[in-house]
Structure 1
Amino acid sequence: MTLRAVGGPTAVLELGGLRLLTDPTFDQAGSYTSPSGSVLTKTAGPAFGPEELGPVDAVLLSHDQHADNLDRSGRAFLPTVPVVFSTPDAAARLGGGTRALAPWAHAELARPDGAPALRITGVPARHGPVGCEPVCGEVTGFVLTAPDLPTVYVSGDNASLAAVRQVADRFGPVDVAVIFAGGARTKAMDGALLTLDSVRTAEAARILGARRCLPLHCDSWEHFTEGRDDLRAAFAAAGLADRLTLLPPGRSAAL
């Protein structure tokens, strides 16, 4: 398995001969108004764009309603991909090749070498405090499994450790946890966490029993309140520094 960070929540994950892309955000710096009325400001463009990406077998889209997870260029990119996995709400809005994965529902992707298929399971996520759904909308995480591959958790935009515990109960320990961190906050939810902060990201890695943790969603946007230095400190304090892999945009790791 390899993972290459693009910027924000976007990364290329290569696993079992397949190439998967998380939440496509390829725009340059700029501002967007979210459905709640909050203005989201992107401070830096991606390390590379779709023209340098190469073929992608599937997109793992945590949700479609916020530009820091699906921006204009990301939307334009989706029709070029065979299948997009996302929430039922996103599938209804996006149509086309978007497939709904409700919590615990799954789909399978055939692998090019004929090995056992990669199973993609939708898992619970909550994009803010309890009761946030009318404002923040529906979101999902994913777990990737196959008999001969590492188990990979992709959190999506999730602020709930209770959701992480549900995933751990069904799939733990996981080999790799790709956690959207950054402590995202906006005025729409009175500054409540919309994604895990650094301390909670380390706790999520502990709950999951993750052998490796690769945080995303901690750069390139103003409403991300914490970055890589905060993650480094939190994992060190939790005694989990050896499990943490931090990837600036453009960098990759082989696992």
Structure 2
Amino acid sequence: MTIDLIAAAQAAYAAQLADEAQEQADAAATREESQADFLNSAAEHAITALGPAAEQLTWLYTPHEELPQHKYGATAVLPGSLTHRRYLDYRFDSLGGTPSLTLVHTCRSCSELRTDPVTSLADLGRLDGNGQDDDADTTDKDTVKEAGPLAAIERVDRHAWRVSRLARRLVAEHSEAGLTVDRVYFHGPDSGTARASLRLEVASVAGARQVAAALGVEVTTRHSNAVSSTVFERADAVATVDGIRVTLNAYTELTEAETTAWRAQQCQPTAGASDIAGGDA
């Protein structure tokens, strides 16, 4: 019997690809199952510490690259202010130790990030109620901490961590809007007043309106017909979340019917122009 070597090689390669794809699918399923189990553990820990009210929290798995070795984590955003949002951070050390729950929140006055342990519902209430007072001495402590030769680098690291957490959270919370991180800026003097900015591209103008509404800001829109046969609607919005300036940008190409209606609208005279044209000579 004659064997076609090329055909046999191609068949073997196809089988290898199929096996690799199956292995990847199995690994992804195992990873998702493991993450789901960990999120259940985080939710159970929060319910034990905070009571039944914690059942409303939605937990998000923290990627391994954002955590120290042997550490696992999850976060849950607390309901409340959109400008100074707070969230719970659950951590577990695979080498041993007791799981921890902390409140990560932003100073209202200086926009610096703070972390405080939470062991009970009373702890959470105290931190939430005294947040304004606790924030008063944050600037002095940070100034002392940043007095070293690597102060500027440490400040960038801190801002990068905050922006990364915020970007991942917004993308997860508004997955249907199609958010994409476009640019990240760090700007300001070295006196400790530097700020971070995050620019997000949204898949559509409708999505930008949805995200902007959730952040409590208005969207400004305008149309552009630089290309004669195409009209685009652009939407922009700016919000401050966790002390970070967040800019939303979106473009949507109008349909043929929408384009016709828009062009017709541009050709209509304003009320004032009609009054002048129809007035006495």
Q: Report the TM range for the smaller structure's normalisation.
A: under 0.3
TM-score, normalized by length of structure 2? 0.22
Higher percent of residues as helix: 2
Bigger RCO of structures 1 and 2 (CA < 8 A, at least 6 apart)? 1
TM-score, normalized by length of structure 1? 0.23
